[in-house]
Amino acid sequence: MKPGIVVFPGINRERDMAFALEQSFGEKPRMIWHKETDLSGIDLVVIPGGFSFGDYLRCGAMAARSPVMASIHAHAARGGYILGVCNGFQILTEAGLLPGALLKNASLRFLSMDCQLRVERADTVFTRQYREGQTFRAVMAHGDGNYFADDATLDRIEGENLVAFRYADENRNGSARDIAGVFSENRRILGMMPHPEDLVDPLMGCADGKPLFDALAAA
Amino acid sequence: MERDVNQALAREFGLNAEEYQRVLDIMGRTPSFTELGVFSVMWSEHCSYKSSRVWLKQLPTKAPWVIHGPGENAGVVAIGDGLAAIFKMESHNHPSFIEPYQGAATGVGGILRDVFTMGARPVANLNALRFGSPDNPRTKRVVDGVVRGIGGYGNCVGVPTVGGEIDFHPAYNGNPLVNAMTVGIAAMDKIFLSAAAGLGNPVIYVGSKTGRDGIHGATMASAEFDANSEEKRPTVQVGDPFTEKLLIEACLELMATDAIVAIQDMGAAGLTSSAVEMAGKGGVGIELNLDNVPARETGMTAYEFMLSESQERMLMVLRPDRQDMARAIFEKWDLDFSVIGQITDTGRIVVKYQGETKADIPLAPLNDQAPLYTRPTVETPKQEQLNAARIEDRLGLTAALRKLIACPDLASRAWVWDQYDSTVGGQTVKRPGAADAAVVKLEGLKRGLALTTDCTPRYCLADPEEGGKQAVAEAWRNLTAVGARPLAITDNMNFGNPEKPEIMGQFAAAIRGMAAACEALDFPVVSGNVSLYNETEGKGILPTPVIGGLGVLDDAAQAVGIGLAPWLDVVLVGQTKGWLGQSLWLREVNGREDGAPPPVDLAVERANGDFVRARILSGEIRACHDVSDGGILVAIAEMAMATGVGARLSAHPRDILGHAFWFGEDQSRYLVAVPDSASFIRAADAAGVPAMRLGTSGGGDLTLPDGGTISVESLRTENAAFFPAWMDTNRS
Polymer length of chain B: 732
| B423 with A141: Cβ contact below 8 A | yes
Identify the closest residue of chain B to A14 by CA–CA distance: B425
Residue B163 Cα, gap to closest chain A Cα (Å): 14
Active-site residue identified among A14, A94, A120, A197: A197
- Which one of A9, A195, A204 has the shortest CB-CB distance to B246? A9
CA of B259, closest CA in chain A: separation in Å? 23
Chain A closest-CA separation from residue B239 CA (Å): 12
Tell which residue, A209, A175, A211, A212, has the closest CA to residue A195.
A209
Question: Is B420 within 8 Å of A53 when comparing Cβ atoms?
Answer: no
For B396-462, give the DSSP string.
HHHHHHHHHHHSTTTS--HHHHTTS---TTS-EEE-TTTSSSEEEEPTTSS-EEEEEEE--HHHHHH
Nearest Cα residue in chain A from B159 = A12
Strand (E) or helix (H) holding B502: helix B501-521
Task: Please report which confidence band the pLDDT of residue B538 belongs to, taking 50, 70 and 90 as the band edges.
Answer: confident
Chain A within 8 Å of B445 (Cβ-Cβ)?
Answer: no
Bridge partners of residue B549, in order along the sequence? B452, B489
Chain B residue closest to A54 (CA)? B242
pLDDT band, very low/low/confident/very high, at B222 (cuts 50, 70, 90): low
Query: Would you give the DSSP letter of residue B38?
Result: H
Judge whether B23 and B39 are in contact, CB under 8 Å: yes
CB B469 within 8 A of CB B583: no
Mutate to test the interface with B, among A7, A59, A107, A109 (most CBs of B within 10 A): A109
- According to the model, what pLDDT value does residue B503 have? 97
| Confidence band for B511, pLDDT divided at 50, 70 and 90 | very high
Mean pLDDT computed over B277-302: 96
Name which of B152, B242, B420 is nearest A10 (Cβ-Cβ).
B242
* pLDDT band with cut points at 50, 70 and 90 for residue B732: very low
pLDDT at B96 over 90: yes
Is some CB atom of chain A closer than 8 A to the CB atom of B423?
yes
Contact A13 B158 (CB under 8 A): yes
Out of A5-19, B179-193, B249-263, B298-312, least confident range: B298-312
Closest CA to B529 of B224, B20, B35, B91: B91
- The DSSP code for B6 is S
B241: nearest CA partner in chain A: A54
Average pLDDT for B280-287: 96
Instruction: Provide the pLDDT for residue B2.
Output: 82
pLDDT surpassing 90 at residue B232: no
Contacts of A201 in chain B (CB under 8 A): 426
Long-range contacts of B345-348 (CB under 8 A, 24+ apart): B345/B199, B345/B284, B345/B285, B346/B285, B346/B287, B347/B283, B347/B284, B347/B285, B348/B285
Q: Looking at A14, A86, A94, A142, which residue is catalytic?
A: A86
In terms of Cα–Cα distance, which of B105, B93, B100, B177 is closest to B142?
B100
Is B202's pLDDT higher than 60? yes
B680 touches chain A (CB under 8 A): no
Q: How far apart are CA B511 and CA B57, in angstroms?
A: 9
Residues of chain B with C-beta less than 8 angstroms from the C-beta of A112 = 155, 417-423
**Sheet with strand B161-168: strands edge to edge:** B66-68, B75-80, B83-91, B177-187, B121-131, B161-168
Angle subtended by helix axes B33-42 and B17-27, to nearest 10: 120
Examine the residue annotation and report whether A86 is marked as an active-site residue of this protein.
yes
Three-state secondary structure string covering chain A:
CCEEEEECCCECCHHHHHHHHHHHHCCCCEEEECCCCCCCCCCEEEECCECHHHHCCCCCCCHHHCCHHHHHHHHHHCCCEEEEECHHHHHHHHCCCCCCEEECCCCCCCEEEEEEEEECCCCCCCCCCCCCCCEEEEEEEECCCEEECCHHHHHHHHHCCCEEEEECCCCCCCCHHHEEEEECCCCCEEEECCECCCCCEHHHCECCCHHHHHHHHHC
Taking contacts as CB-CB distances below 8 angstroms, the residues of chain B near A9 are 242, 245-246, 333-334
B680 touches B674 (CB < 8 A): yes
Amino acid sitting at position B62: K
> Measured at the alpha carbon of residue B514, what is the angle toward residues B513 and B517, in degrees to the nearest 5?
90
Phi-psi region of B24 (alpha: psi -120 to 50; beta: other; left: phi over 0): alpha
Contact (CB<8Å) B155/A110: yes
Instruction: Tell me the pLDDT band of B237, cut-offs 50, 70 and 90.
Output: confident
Pairwise CA distance, residues A175 & A181, whole Å: 10
pLDDT of residue B218: 62
At residue B238, the pLDDT reads 86
What is the mean pLDDT of each successive set of 10 residues along chain A, which is 219 residues long? 97 98 97 96 98 96 96 98 98 98 97 98 98 98 98 98 98 98 98 98 97 97
CA–CA separation, B519 vs B694, rounded Å?
33
pLDDT in tens, B371-428: 999 999 999 999 999 999 999 999 999 999 999 999 999 999 999 999 999 999 999 9
pLDDT at residue B731 in the model: 47
- Per-residue model confidence (pLDDT) at position B621: 98
Smallest CA–CA distance from B428 into chain A, residue: A204
How far apart, in whole angstroms, are the C-alpha atoms of residue B713 and residue B724?
17
Task: Report CB contact under 8 Å: B158, A50.
Answer: yes
Report whether B314 contacts B263 (CB < 8 A): yes
Which residue in A86, A200, A204 has the most chain B C-beta atoms within 10 A of its own C-beta, making it the best mutation to test that interface? A204
What is the Cα–Cα distance from B470 to B482, expressed in whole angstroms? 19
Three-class DSSP category at B214: coil
Interstrand relation of B66-68 and A189-192 (parallel, antiparallel or unpaired): unpaired
Q: Taking all residues of chain B, what is their mean pLDDT, rounded to a whole number? A: 95
- Which residues in chain B are contacts of A15 at CB distance < 8 A? 425-426, 443
Which of B125, B156, B246, B727 would best serve as a mutation to test chain A binding (most A beta carbons within 10 A)? B156
Q: Which of B382-386, B636-640, B650-654 has the lowest mean pLDDT?
A: B650-654
CB within 8 Å: A198 and B419:
no
Which of A15, A55, A113 lies nearest to residue B426, judging by beta carbons? A15
| Residues in Cβ contact with B180 at an 8 Å cutoff, skipping those fewer than 6 apart | B89, B90, B91, B92, B104, B107, B108, B110, B111, B125, B126, B127, B150
Strands B647-649 and B701-703, how do they pair?
A: parallel
How many CA atoms lie within 13 Å of B17's alpha carbon, on the beta-carbon side?
Answer: 0
Which one of A51, A110, A198 has the shortest CB-CB distance to B426?
Answer: A198
Minimal Cα distance from A15: which residue of B?
A: B425
- In a mutational test of the A interface, the residue from B101, B242, B244 whose CB has the highest number of chain A CBs within 10 Å is B242
Which chain B residue lies closest to A53 (C-alpha atoms)?
Answer: B242
Quote the pLDDT of residue B235.
Answer: 67
Task: Write out pLDDT tens, residues A124-168.
Answer: 999 999 999 999 999 999 999 999 999 999 999 999 999 999 999
- Beta-carbon separation of A203 and B557 below 8 A: yes
Amino acid, res. B705: P
Contact A198 B424 (CB under 8 A): yes
CA distance B87 to chain A (A): 21
State whether residue B567 sits within 8 Å of chain A by CB: no
A195 among known catalytic residues: yes
Chain A residues whose beta carbon lies within 8 Å of the beta carbon of residue B240? 54
Residues 294-353 of B with CB under 8 A from A: 332-334
Find residue B490's DSSP bridge partners.
Answer: B527, B548
Chain A residues whose CB is inside 8 A of the B418 CB are 109, 111-113
pLDDT digits (tens, 9 = 90+) for B326-355: 999 999 999 999 999 999 999 999 999 999
pTM beyond cutoff 0.80:
yes
* pLDDT (0 to 100) of residue B372: 94
Angle at B198 between CA B195 and CA B204, to 5 degrees: 70
- Comparing A96-100, B95-99, B452-456, B602-606, the range with the smallest average pLDDT is B95-99
Q: What is the pLDDT of residue B730?
A: 60
Q: Smallest Cβ distance to B426: which of A19, A33, A110? A: A19
Contacts of A113 in chain B (CB under 8 A): 418
ipTM over 0.90: yes
| Residue B277 sits at the chain A interface (C-beta within 8 Å) | no
Mean pLDDT of B458-471: 98
Residue from B417, B423, B430, B439 to probe the interface with A (highest A Cβ count within 10 Å): B423
Tens-digit pLDDT profile for residues B570-584: 999 999 999 999 999
CA separation for the pair B153, B104 (Å, rounded): 9
B112: Cα within 13 Å, side-chain hemisphere: 37
**From CA B322, how far away is CA B260, in angstroms rounded?**
8
Optimal mutation site among B125, B334, B421, B445, interface A, most CBs of chain A within 10 A: B421
Q: Which of B526, B588, B494, B477 is nearest to B129 (CA)?
A: B494
Question: Residues 6 or more apart from B89 whose CB is under 8 A from it?
Answer: B111, B126, B128, B179, B180, B181, B453, B490, B491, B492, B527, B528, B529, B546, B548
Catalytic residue positions of B, numbered: 46, 92
Q: Are B41 and B273 in contact (CB under 8 A)?
A: yes
H-run or E-run covering B56: helix B53-56
Give residue B339's identity as a one-letter amino acid code. Answer: V
Helix (H) or strand (E) run with residue B575 in it: none
User: A199 to chain B: nearest residue by CA?
Assistant: B426
Contact call for B424 and A20, based on CB within 8 A: no
Question: Taking CB atoms and an 8 Å cutoff, what residues of chain B touch A204?
Answer: 423, 426-429
Across the range B44-68, mean pLDDT stands at: 95
